[in-house]
Amino acid sequence: MANNYKNAKVDLTSTSPTVLYTAPSSTTTIVKSILVSEDSGNADTITLTLTNSASAVFSLFKVKAVSANATVELLTGPLVVEESEILKVTAATANRLHVTASILEIS
């Protein structure tokens, strides 16, 4: 088994669902942290979903508040993401939020 430590990051420049991370084939991923930073001086909200290999969408955080100029840690424990599953984030307002995930891929 190979362990690969990575990060995934996005600047949410629109209000459309944006892919944060897709687990590669033959890989199980442990997401240790998902940080959301608000950098415009305005409070906002974020939604985080997980799409499985059958294209079913599961809500992990629905309209989670992020205060102005603040950083929020979404996870209180590790999140397991299986092969081909997709983490997506959606901002309520464009150009306010940055998202960074700390990831361990096991293949």
Q: Domain map of the chain by residue range? A: 3-106
CATH topology for 3-106 is Jelly Rolls (2.60.120)
Mean pLDDT, to the nearest integer, of 24-31?
A: 96
Q: What mean pLDDT is predicted for residues 92-99?
A: 98
Cβ contacts of 2 within 8 Å, gap of 6 or more: 106, 107
| Lookup: tokens for 80 | 């397991």
Whole-prediction pTM: 0.94
Return d(Cα 45, Cα 96) in angstroms, integer: 10
Q: How much is the average pLDDT of 58-86?
A: 97
What average pLDDT does the chain have? 97
pLDDT above 90 for 89: yes
Structure confidence by residue, pLDDT tens digits, 29-59: 999 999 999 999 999 999 999 999 899 999 9
